Amino acid sequence: MAQSLDRPTKTCAVCGRPFQWRRKWKDVWDDVRYCSERCRRRRGASRAKPSS
């Protein structure tokens, strides 16, 4: 069973979901802004606006 660890969390700049620290981010945690590669790729895309 997985242990419940007290890891730092951040909120994704694109989707707004919270995400936790990962071992692969140990050296760059201060620079991490996105929860996934998908959100990182979508960072420049604006959301579709409804037509009037």
pLDDT band for position 43 (50/70/90)? confident
Average pLDDT over residues 4-10: 87
Residue 6 or 48, more confident: 6
Residue 26, domain member (yes or no): yes
Residue 49, domain member (yes or no): no
Residue 1, domain member (yes or no): no
Q: What is the CA radius of gyration of the chain?
A: 14
Domain hosting 18: range is 9-41
Domains: count for the chain: 1
8 A C-beta contact, residue 19 and residue 9 = yes
pLDDT given at position 48:
52
46, pLDDT greater than 70: no
Q: What is the pLDDT of residues 12-42, one digit of tens each?
A: 999 999 999 999 999 999 999 999 999 999 9
